[in-house]
Amino acid sequence: MSVSEYKHILRIAGKDIEGGKKLIVALSEIKGVGYNFAQVLIQSLNINPNMRVGFLTENDIREIEQAISNPARVGIPQWYLNRRKNMDDGSNNHLITSDLGFAVSNDIEREKLVMSWRGYRHMFGLRVRGQCTRTTGRRGGAVGVKKVKAMPGAPPAAPAAVAATAAAPASGGGGTTSPAPPSKEPAKK
């Protein structure tokens, strides 16, 4: 191809892609198309994977978009698809871009509606996939720590340790005071 046919920005499946990127990396930028899926897609279409996206012809772009929308047509196995055995109709689909996000949000809302365990975890913003939550995943304020609120117009409050040392007299002069010795009287009952 000549330099005059090079395109700096292409639109593939609703995503603007830089023309200088390699084809596999560029396709994996599309939401719903991962690196492995892009590799299988390019192999099934017999396109050079090291080719820069800016040198693709209109026919190549059309073939890639059709293959992404219907991967079974180009011979991609069903286990590569990201939406197998759909809850609504039992079909095997491959969703991309906003369709994928919409389907995932619908799945989460359905789980909340049927009050499944995963639905509860989603509702309360907790980890859903069985991770340990004893030490990680902590959000929100610290429990048991009181925050000092500053009054408007007042200087910022000093921390307690700094305030205690500031109240003690400075050492180095002739008249330093020492704390009183502890009393030896027994504690009264």
Q: Report whether pLDDT(174) > 60.
A: no
With a CB cutoff of 8 Å and minimum separation 6, the contacts of 82 are 32, 37, 94, 95, 100
Q: Rounded to a whole number, what is the largest CA-CA distance in the chain?
A: 100
- Average pLDDT on 154-166 reads 61
Helix (H) or strand (E) holding 111, with range, is helix 97-113
What SS3 class is residue 166? helix
pLDDT of residue 3: 67
Q: How confident is the model at residue 90 (pLDDT cuts 50, 70, 90)?
A: confident
pLDDT of residue 133: 87
Distance CA 68, CA 70 (A): 6
Q: What is the DSSP string of 49-80?
A: TTSBGGG--HHHHHHHHHHHH-GGGGT--GGG
Q: Report whether pLDDT(91) > 60.
A: yes
Q: What's the pLDDT tens digit per position in 4-53?
A: 688 888 888 888 888 889 999 999 999 999 999 999 999 999 999 888 99
Distance CA 42, CA 24 (A): 8
Q: How confident is the model at residue 2 (pLDDT cuts 50, 70, 90)?
A: low
Q: What is the mean pLDDT of the chain?
A: 83
Task: Compute, in degrees rounded to 10, the torsion defined by CA atoms 18, 22, 27, 28.
Answer: -110
The residue assigned the tokens 């009050």 is: 115
- Average pLDDT on 81-109 reads 89
pLDDT of residue 1: 55
- Average pLDDT on 91-102 reads 89
Q: Report whether pLDDT(162) > 70.
A: no
Percent of the chain with pLDDT over 90: 33
pLDDT of residue 36: 92
| Among 142, 141, 111, CA closest to 128 | 111
